[in-house]
Amino acid sequence: MENIANIVHIGELIAVSKVFELNPFRMVTLIEKGIMEVFETKDDFIAKYGNKETYDELDNWCELNNGKIFTKPKAGSEYNSIH
């Protein structure tokens, strides 16, 4: 696993923590386990999930103004690496 600090900044975690109703430490743990995902660009996100109106396979997702997208696939989803 790549060092989380190379992927996200603490400010980004704080910014999206309210959306996911998780504290930044828990979010780091979920990212490390592959339960949450971070996409550098919207194109990366669309390459995996497609360009749709709704994303039923995700519990939630959030796009920051810098273009990064944080996602949390639903448990049991084919997109969630933990089944």
Contact call for residues 69 and 43 (beta carbons, < 8 A): no
Please check whether residue 24 lies inside any domain of the structure: yes
pLDDT of the residue at 82: 43
Give the predicted TM-score (pTM) of the model: 0.84
Domain assignment present for residue 80? The answer is no
1-17 pLDDT, tens digit per residue, is: 567 878 899 999 999 99
Torsion (CA) 38, 40, 46, 49 in degrees, nearest 10: -10
**Interhelix angle 10-20/24-32, nearest 10 degrees:** 100
Please state, in angstroms and rounded to a whole number, the distance separating the CA atoms of residues 80 and 24: 20
Q: What is the largest CA-CA distance in the chain?
A: 32
The count of structural domains within the chain is 1
pLDDT given for residue 5 in this prediction: 79
Domain extent for 45: 4-73
The answer as to whether 47 is a domain residue is yes
* CA 21 to the chain's CA centroid: 13
pLDDT tens column, 26-62: 999 999 999 999 999 999 999 999 999 899 999 999 9
